[in-house]
């Protein structure tokens, strides 16, 4: 039976700097097979967490450096599974990987692992290609940097949109059952029911 486990890794925008930027890496699967979501920063540590299981896919919630920089190195350690990213974030991917490629991820695509399904939901706003992965059988959504405990992800870049991220959250995430666990790209998990009442507050404060 599938389960979701979290690994926290750390890195730095400057590869020579201390590992101060923490990310959540999510592993979904069982004792034989896993899907890895956002294998950030430390390829060897994520490969160690895989512990010899077959990695059927690497799913990326978006193309920011902290989520994608370690991906080719990680993939090379675990048998080069397919890497999926929505093509709207290709420009961000290429800032880190001019030569390495990925498989274009289409909204609505479903991935199955150990009896659980992860469904790709387009949630633009933080980046144009931001994606969340809904796993109904596991009662959770892997929200990347779209929704956190306490509010939406950052929209400070010229390619971001606060209105768009609010629409993504309200239309695709806050419509999930209250008990749905929200597992973000950084920090603590929360639930849909905990976050839904704050939508108006987020809109009013503008972030």
- Residue 11: helix, strand or coil by DSSP? strand
Our CA dihedral for 50, 53, 59, 64, rounded to 10 degrees, sits at 20
- pLDDT beyond 90 at 30: yes
CATH number of the domain located at residue range(s) 3-205 in this protein? 3.60.15.10
Mean of per-residue pLDDT scores for the chain: 98
H or E stretch at 77: helix 71-77
Q: What is the arithmetic mean of pLDDT over 2-31? A: 96
Decide: 126 and 182 in contact? Cβ < 8 Å: no
Local structure of 163: helix, strand or coil: helix
The answer to whether residue 55 scores a pLDDT higher than 90 is yes
pLDDT in tens, 102-129: 999 999 999 999 999 999 999 999 999 9
Q: pLDDT-derived band of residue 16, with 50, 70 and 90 as boundaries?
A: confident
**pTM of this prediction?**
0.98
In this structure, the number of other CB atoms found within 10 A of the CB of residue 89 comes to 26
pLDDT of residue 132: 99
The domain locations on the chain are 3-205
Determine the pLDDT at residue 15. 83
Q: What percent of the chain has pLDDT over 90?
A: 97
Using one digit for the tens of pLDDT, what is the confidence trace for 160-207?
A: 999 999 999 999 999 999 999 999 999 999 999 999 999 999 999 999
**Model pLDDT for residues 58-80, shown as the tens digit of each residue:** 999 999 999 999 999 999 999 99
């Amino acid at each position: 039976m599938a389960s979701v486990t979290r690994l926290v890794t750390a890195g730095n925008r400057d590869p020579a700097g201390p590992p101060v930027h923490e990310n959540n890496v999510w592993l979904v699967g069982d004792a034989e097979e896993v899907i890895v979501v956002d294998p950030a920063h430390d390829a060897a540590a994520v490969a160690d967490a895989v512990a010899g299981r077959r990695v059927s896919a690497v799913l990326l919630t978006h193309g920011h450096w902290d989520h994608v920089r370690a991906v080719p190195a990680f993939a090379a350690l675990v048998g080069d599974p397919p890497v999926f990213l929505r093509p709207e974030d290709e420009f961000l991917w290429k800032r880190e990987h001019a030569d390495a490629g990925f498989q274009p991820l289409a909204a609505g695509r479903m991935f199955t692992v150990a009896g659980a399904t992860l469904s790709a939901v387009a949630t633009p706003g933080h980046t144009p290609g931001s994606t969340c992965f809904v796993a109904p059988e596991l009662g959770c959504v892997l929200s990347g940097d779209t929704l956190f405990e306490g509010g939406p992800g950052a929209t400070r870049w010229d390619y971001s949109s606060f209105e768009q991220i609010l629409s993504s959250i309200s239309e695709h995430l806050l419509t999930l059952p209250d008990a749905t666990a929200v597992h973000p790209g950084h920090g603590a998990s929360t639930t849909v029911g905990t976050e839904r009442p704050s939508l108006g507050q987020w809109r009013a404060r503008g972030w």
